[in-house]
Structure 1
Amino acid sequence: MAKHIPANQKIWTGRNSQSIDYWHQAMSFVKVTGKKKVALLGYCGDEGVRRNQGRIGAAEGPDSIRKMLAGMAYHLSDSLQILDLGNILTVGNDMEGSHQLLTEKVTELLQENIFPVLIGGGHDLALAHGRAILKHLEQKNESLGIINLDAHFDLRDLNGGKGHSGSPFYQLSQESPDQFQYLCLGIQKPANPASLFKTAKSTKTQWMDMEEFRIDNWDYIAETLQHFYQKVNKIYLSIDLDGFSTAFAPGVSAPSPLGFSPELAFKVMEWLAISGKMISMDVVELNPKYDQDNATARLAARCIEFMLRKLFIRMEKP
């Protein structure tokens, strides 16, 4: 069993002004007609992290990200409505129940032409998120490409017959093998055993090692993105905060000192915004328990703000 908890409007506070200058002033909780819409939906679950032997605490991530977004300067168009739809809460260890509810909610958003931004929470949410998008696009006879900024493939096998935060893309590959198109950027070999590279090859996963995923190698990265982009109709972007170096993201479930930089991640996001194929995104694995001065929460919030600003300003150009 899972719960859908309505948005906590008290989180959205900050500096006031006469015009809408900050995110907390722009946030809505009820849909209005006549506007493009973006919806924030939190996933308060770290059962998948526990099953994957990670550091518990990601269930507190969504509201921490909201708090950092609230005080940010707002630069989106008046023709866009930003909605906070609250959180999907895992009850006990029923991760699968929360996944089902999450899939239902994302499917509803896509059917209403609302751009979903999921915030977590364990990376297992990508299974529920991906299921919803694949189901939606199947009805349109369109293909999906999944791009994951991450240190890990998340292609691990089930644990005792159950999914976890390290298995979402493996599960998607098994459920929809003909539709599975997956590119993972930032793979770290010390964090992925040889068996996972074999799984990656067997699922036709594309990837770029951390050694290649560097800002001074941008031409090759852009070429890789272009090749992937040409094969799909829509793109779902997943950002695992543990892919960043701990210098930028200490508050994650699986920290690493040698991750990619925000500068490179933002360059990828800008490229994807310009592509015109983005359908959805998520930012996952924030663990406030281990954060320092909210650095990781701020980075997560900046990822969301940057992507939406680049995406919707691009869409509104004549």
Structure 2
Amino acid sequence: MGQIHQNPETSNWYGRKSNAIEYWHQASISVNDLQFDTNTEKPKVGILGYASEEGVNRNQGRLGTKAGPKAIRNMMGSLAFHLPEQTRVFDYGDVITHNSDMESSHDLISTTVLKLLETNHFPVLLGGGHDLALAHARGVYQYLKSKDEKLGIINLDAHFDLRPLNNGKGHSGSPFFQLAEEFKDDFHYLCLGIQRSVNPKSLFKTAERSNSQWMVMEDFRLNNWEVIQEKILWFLDSKDKIYLTVDMDGFASAYAPGVSAPSPMGFEPDFAFKVFELITKSKKVISMDVVELNPNFDLDHATARLAARCAEYVVRKIFS
């Protein structure tokens, strides 16, 4: 696929040895040149990395996210494999960015997501900056267009990512602003874990104008579970399919230090996984990504381990 696609490296997947398939590194099958598996009889996971930090750079964030997909794979490989025995996991490599041309990277991601869905994969995308959400969602929208199904986007994040463009260009803080502009009345967005300290009033106004829904961090806590559950269930009930995106900077920095924009006041893993369970029970999740992991600032791979656990948990719940 030219310079902006890199084939997967089998060395990224490693872990304990066993005769049967007991770990993710044993279940992962590396596929070159985006040659999609078209067997629709067996359930499939399609992994695609976004090894880019151009969007983070444009948003004045800490650089290092381009190493995120490799770090997540490294931690994911040693996790126990609990998917149904016939499930196949295909690693389709990474999309990268050359010469700051983020838009070409996005085009390839959108096309790839569409093909993954058309060939009956559950896409799991590994970031990379959160600008990935623009490309990822475009592919899902395109797939659902012919089916006349309504897409809901659920984002666990400290930030709305509804910022306007910078000099006419998108960035890691603008993906949902761009989606709202592009898809208008078809844009249905729920953001969970918003922190007022990093989202100025102007972004709350943008959220209102785009009919976005959200919960601020002060309300997104276990002692408010009944209210949270009702809000999420209402959102799920009114949509046909859900694209789930998990920004690692939504977690408290005690658990996720290796991100582009750390915060001490984010949510805890136990609570986030309770939310994942509620969302996946709907059987509507069609695709997911984990973004903004920055290995340059990680401690003992803690954030990479957590990102890998997020992906593994959501996939396991979906295939159970």
Q: Fold conserved (TM > 0.5)?
A: yes
CA displacement 1:76-123 (0-9 Å, x = unmatched) = 111211111100011120100100011110010111121100000000
Name segments (4+ residues, structure 1) moved above 4 Å.
none
Q: For the structure 1 residues 234 and 32, does the alpha-carbon distance in structure 2 shift closer, same or farther, using more than 3 Å as the test?
A: closer
**Distance in 2 of aligned mates of 1:92 and 1:183:** 33
CA displacement 1:185-206 (0-9 Å, x = unmatched) = 0000010000000000000000
Larger CA deviation: 166-175 vs 11-20: 11-20
Specify the alignment match of 1:21 in structure 2: 22
Is the 1:243–1:260 Cα contact (8 Å) retained in structure 2?
yes
Larger CA deviation: 76-85 vs 292-301: 76-85
**Distance in 2 of aligned mates of 1:211 and 1:25:** 41
Q: For the structure 1 residues 32 and 197, does the alpha-carbon distance in structure 2 shift closer, same or farther, using more than 3 Å as the test?
A: closer
Is the 2:22–2:81 Cα contact (8 Å) retained in structure 1?
yes
Specify the alignment match of 1:256 in structure 2: 263
- How do 1:127-142 residues align onto structure 2 when only pairs under 5 Å count? 127-142=134-149
Is the 1:61–1:120 Cα contact (8 Å) retained in structure 2?
yes
Q: How far is the alpha carbon of 1:2 from its aligned partner? A: 5.4
- How do 1:139-150 residues align onto structure 2 when only pairs under 5 Å count? 139-150=146-157
Specify the alignment match of 1:316 in structure 2: none
Specify the alignment match of 2:95 in structure 1: 88
CA displacement 1:137-158 (0-9 Å, x = unmatched) = 1111000000000000000000
**Distance in 1 of aligned mates of 2:267 and 2:227:** 16
Name the aligned partner's letter for residue 315 of structure 2.
L
Which residue of 285, 303, 310 maps to 1:296?
Answer: 303
Give the TM-score, by structure 2 length.
0.96
Name the aligned partner's letter for residue 163 of structure 2.
R
Name the aligned partner's letter for residue 22 of structure 1.
Y
SS at match of 1:283: strand
**Distance in 1 of aligned mates of 2:143 and 2:19:** 40
Larger CA deviation: 70-79 vs 101-110: 70-79
Specify the alignment match of 2:315 in structure 1: 308
Say if 2:9 is the partner of 1:8. Answer: yes
Which residue of 211, 236, 239 maps to 1:229?
Answer: 236
SS at match of 2:286: strand
Q: How far is the alpha carbon of 1:265 from its aligned partner? A: 0.8
Give the TM-score, by structure 1 length.
0.97
Q: How far is the alpha carbon of 1:178 from its aligned partner? A: 1.4
Q: How far is the alpha carbon of 1:32 from its aligned partner? A: 7.1
SS at match of 2:186: coil
Q: How far is the alpha carbon of 1:29 from its aligned partner? A: 2.4
Larger CA deviation: 226-235 vs 162-171: 226-235
**Structure 1: runs of 5+ lacking an equivalent:** 314-318
**Structure 2: runs of 5+ lacking an equivalent:** 32-36
**Distance in 1 of aligned mates of 2:99 and 2:68:** 17
Say if 2:168 is the partner of 1:186. Answer: no
Name the aligned partner's letter for residue 8 of structure 1.
E
Name the aligned partner's letter for residue 23 of structure 1.
W
SS at match of 2:289: strand
Backbone CA RMSD of aligned residues: 1.0
Which residue of 165, 168, 187 maps to 1:161?
Answer: 168
Say if 2:214 is the partner of 1:207. Answer: yes
Q: How far is the alpha carbon of 1:28 from its aligned partner? A: 1.3
Number of residues paired by the alignment? Answer: 313
Is the 1:116–1:281 Cα contact (8 Å) retained in structure 2?
yes
Name the aligned partner's letter for residue 298 of structure 2.
D
Name the aligned partner's letter for residue 171 of structure 2.
H
CA displacement 1:133-187 (0-9 Å, x = unmatched) = 1111111100000000000000000001000000000000000001000000000
Which residue of 26, 43, 54 maps to 1:36?
Answer: 43
SS at match of 2:265: coil
**Distance in 2 of aligned mates of 1:89 and 1:41:** 11
Give percent identity, aligned residues only.
56
